[in-house]
């Protein structure tokens, strides 16, 4: 069991997407998506542009990992396909990549990561598809604007800090991960708790 910690620079409810009973990370952070396995924790922290004190946007324990084409076709995640004429949460759907042919180019749905006219944004495609893995969690808490402060004992746990700068960190020792999990369990709060910062 590992823990991945990073800063959510732009919290729109897109990456992560905490809606329809699943928390999913399907775009951005290709290094985390490529490396994380079932049972690992992924923790997203607030950025200094959203609030001065560091808090938790979300925490998810990975329960499943799917490839993009699997994610696109899976009926459980059909509501996560974006609809820019629908509700705000449908507009920020993250189920945006698939291929018409297994060896063909990536197709990008009209979404938060495409251009305003709906055309493919090649820079986002190139970044996102460095890994075609989607992390899925049924056990998660998404706080968004209601982000709690990172607890003090996880800011300095035998020299380890949950808060990171650029990139991400996943080199925490097991006792740190267990301390995080114990703190999370003590909250007795799961699921969608607050709207994204940027709404």
What is the tens place of the pLDDT at every residue in 56-106?
999 999 999 999 999 999 999 999 999 999 899 999 999 999 999 988 999
pTM for the structure as a whole: 0.94
Nearest Cα to Cα of residue 87 among 75, 97, 79, 78: 79
d(Cα 166, Cα 196) in Å, to the nearest integer?
Answer: 21
* Assigned domain for 51 exists: yes
* Assigned domain for 100 exists: yes
* Assigned domain for 195 exists: no
* Assigned domain for 197 exists: no
Phi, psi of 152 (to 5 degrees): -60, -35
Domain count, the chain: 1
DSSP 112: T
73: containing domain: 3-190
- The secondary structure of 31-74 as a DSSP string is HHHHH--TT-EEEEEPPTTT-SS-BEEEEEE--EEEEHHHHHH-
* Assigned domain for 199 exists: no
Pull the structure tokens for residue 175. 């006792």
What is the tens place of the pLDDT at every residue in 18-70?
999 999 999 999 999 999 999 999 999 999 888 778 999 999 999 999 999 99
d(Cα 25, Cα 57) in Å, to the nearest integer?
Answer: 13
**pLDDT score, position 102:** 87
């Amino acid at each position: 069991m590992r823990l991945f910690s990073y800063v959510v620079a732009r919290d729109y409810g897109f990456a992560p997407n905490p809606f329809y009973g699943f928390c999913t990370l399907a775009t951005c952070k290709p290094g985390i998506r490529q490396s994380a396995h079932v049972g690992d924790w992924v923790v997203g922290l607030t950025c200094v542009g959203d609030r001065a004190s560091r808090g938790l946007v979300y925490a998810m324990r990975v329960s499943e990992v799917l490839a993009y084409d699997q994610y696109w076709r899976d009926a459980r995640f059909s509501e996560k396909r974006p609809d820019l004429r629908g509700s705000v949460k449908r507009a920020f759907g993250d189920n945006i990549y698939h291929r018409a042919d297994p060896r063909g180019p990536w197709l990008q749905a009209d979404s938060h990561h495409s251009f305003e006219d709906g055309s493919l944004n090649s820079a986002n495609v190139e970044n996102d598809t460095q890994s075609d893995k989607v992390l899925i969690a049924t056990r998660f808490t998404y706080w968004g604007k209601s982000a709690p402060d990172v607890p003090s004992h996880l800011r300095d746990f035998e020299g380890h800090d949950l808060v990171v700068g650029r990139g991400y960190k996943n080199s925490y020792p097991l006792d740190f991960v267990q301390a995080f999990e114990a703190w999370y369990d003590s909250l007795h709060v799961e699921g969608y708790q607050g709207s994204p910062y940027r709404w």
